[in-house]
C-alpha cells in the first residue's frame, strides 16, 4: 500500500472490473477522497456513488486531470474513442494502466507518447479479492510504476509480471478461466441432479469439493496426476468415471478450447 500513499487514482469505466478495483483499493485503506471514477452509464454512476462514496463523473477528462494514476477499464471496442479523448490531458507524470483484453502496449504507446503505461490482464474473481492478474510494463514505466500496479492488483488477488508475448496465452488461461470453472460446475450440477440429489445438496457438495481439491493441490505441492492416483483405486468408482473422461478425450478437448481462446485473443488484438 505504501506505493499508493499520496496517490490519486481515477477509474475510466466503473463496470464489473472497475468496481472490483475500487473495492480492493478501499479495503486496503485508500482514502475515498483519493479515488474517483467516470462511466458513460448513469445507472453505473449512481451505483458507484452509493456503494463507495467516491467522486463520480461522466467526464473522463475531469477524472484524468484529478488523478496521477488512470486505470482504463472500459471494453476494448471503446478504447479508440476513450484514449483519443484522454490523450490531450495525459502526460509523463501520469501512470496509465490498461486492463483491456487485446489492447497492446504498442497501440497504447503510439497514442500516448511518453506516458508511462502498464498493461494488465486481470480476471473476474478480483470482485471477491481472489483474482489472478498478469502485468507487463511499457517502455516509459519505471520501477515505482511496477510497485503501484503490484499494490493495486495485489489488493484484489495475486499478481505476476509476464512478458507481453504471453498475453494471448494468459488471457486464454486465467482471463477467460473463471468461465471454464463455471461451465464445469454447471455440468457437474446437472449430473448430480440426474443422479437424484437435491439441487442445494449438489451445489454445496460440488463447491466444497472443488475448493477442497484446489487447496489440497496448492498446499501439498503434489502434481494433479499424483493426486488423481491417490483418489482412484483400482476397480473403484473414481476409476470408472476417469475411464469415461479418457475414452471421450476430454483432456484433448480442454486443450482445443484454450487454443481457440488464445487464437481469438490474437485475432482481436489491436497493435
Ligand X SMILES: NC(=O)c1ccc[n+]([C@@H]2O[C@H](COP(=O)([O-])OP(=O)(O)OC[C@H]3O[C@@H](n4cnc5c(N)ncnc54)[C@H](OP(=O)(O)O)[C@@H]3O)[C@@H](O)[C@H]2O)c1
Should residue 15 be labelled a site residue for ligand X when binding is judged by CB under 6 A? yes
Q: Which stretch binds ligand X (CB under 6 A): 96-104, 140-148, 153-161, 223-231?
A: 96-104
- Nearest residue to 169 via CA among 80, 258, 250, 51: 258
User: Alpha carbon of 18 to those of 75, 170, 225: distances in Å?
Assistant: 11, 20, 37
**For ligand X, which is the closer residue by CB, 73 or 152?**
73
How far apart CA 228 and CA 233 sit, in angstroms, is 9
**For ligand X, which is the closer residue by CB, 179 or 251?**
179
**For ligand X, which is the closer residue by CB, 39 or 168?**
39
**For ligand X, which is the closer residue by CB, 127 or 202?**
127
Q: Which stretch binds ligand X (CB under 6 A): 98-106, 181-189, 204-212, 218-226?
A: 98-106
Cα torsion angle, 80, 15, 92, 141, sign: negative
Should residue 168 be labelled a site residue for ligand X when binding is judged by CB under 6 A? no
Q: Least distance to ligand X from the beta carbon of 79, Å? A: 8
Residue pair 265/171 in contact by the 8 Å Cβ criterion: yes
Residue pair 161/53 in contact by the 8 Å Cβ criterion: no
User: Alpha carbon of 266 to those of 168, 259, 260: distances in Å?
Assistant: 6, 11, 10
Should residue 39 be labelled a site residue for ligand X when binding is judged by CB under 6 A? yes
Should residue 83 be labelled a site residue for ligand X when binding is judged by CB under 6 A? no
User: Alpha carbon of 75 to those of 4, 199, 250: distances in Å?
Assistant: 25, 35, 32
Should residue 99 be labelled a site residue for ligand X when binding is judged by CB under 6 A? yes
Question: Judged by CB under 6 A, which of 101, 112, 137, 152 binds ligand X?
Answer: 101
Should residue 67 be labelled a site residue for ligand X when binding is judged by CB under 6 A? no
Should residue 60 be labelled a site residue for ligand X when binding is judged by CB under 6 A? yes
Residue pair 166/134 in contact by the 8 Å Cβ criterion: yes
At residue 152, the 3 state secondary structure works out as helix
Should residue 10 be labelled a site residue for ligand X when binding is judged by CB under 6 A? no
Residues near ligand X (CB under 6 A) are 12-13, 15-18, 38-41, 44, 60, 73-76, 78, 81-82, 99-101, 121-124, 175
Amino acid at each position: 500500500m505504501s506505493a499508493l500513499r499520496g496517490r490519486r487514482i481515477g477509474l475510466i469505466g466503473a463496470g464489473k472490473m472497475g468496481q472490483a478495483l475500487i473495492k480492493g483499493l478501499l479495503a486496503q485503506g485508500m482514502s475515498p477522497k483519493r479515488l474517483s471514477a467516470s462511466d458513460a452509464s448513469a445507472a453505473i454512476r449512481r451505483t458507484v456513488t452509493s456503494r463507495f462514496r467516491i467522486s463520480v463523473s461522466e467526464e473522463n477528462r475531469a477524472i484524468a486531470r484529478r488523478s496521477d494514476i488512470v486505470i482504463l477499464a472500459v471494453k476494448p471496442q471503446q478504447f479508440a474513442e476513450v484514449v483519443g479523448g484522454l490523450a490531450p490531458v495525459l502526460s509523463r507524470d501520469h501512470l496509465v494502466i490498461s486492463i483491456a483484453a487485446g489492447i497492446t502496449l504498442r497501440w497504447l504507446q503510439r497514442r500516448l507518447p511518453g506516458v508511462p503505461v502498464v498493461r494488465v490482464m486481470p480476471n473476474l474473481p478480483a470482485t471477491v479479492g481472489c483474482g489472478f492478474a498478469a502485468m507487463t510494463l511499457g517502455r516509459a514505466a519505471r520501477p515505482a510504476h511496477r510497485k503501484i500496479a503490484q499494490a493495486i492488483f495485489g489488493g484484489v488477488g495475486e499478481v505476476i509480471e509476464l512478458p507481453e508475448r504471453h498475453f494471448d496465452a494468459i488471457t486464454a488461461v486465467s482471463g477467460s478461466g473463471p468461465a471454464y470453472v463455471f461451465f464445469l460446475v454447471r455440468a457437474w450440477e446437472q449430473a448430480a441432479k440426474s443422479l437424484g440429489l437435491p439441487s442445494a445438496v449438489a451445489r454445496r457438495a460440488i463447491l466444497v469439493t472443488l475448493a477442497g481439491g484446489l487447496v489440497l493441490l496448492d498446499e501439498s505441492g503434489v502434481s494433479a496426476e499424483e493426486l488423481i492416483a491417490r483418489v482412484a483405486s483400482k476397480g473403484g468408482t473414481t476409476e470408472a468415471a476417469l475411464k469415461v473422461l479418457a475414452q471421450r478425450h476430454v483432456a484433448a478437448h480442454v486443450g482445443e478450447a484454450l487454443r481457440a481462446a488464445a487464437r481469438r485473443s490474437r485475432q482481436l488484438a489491436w497493435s
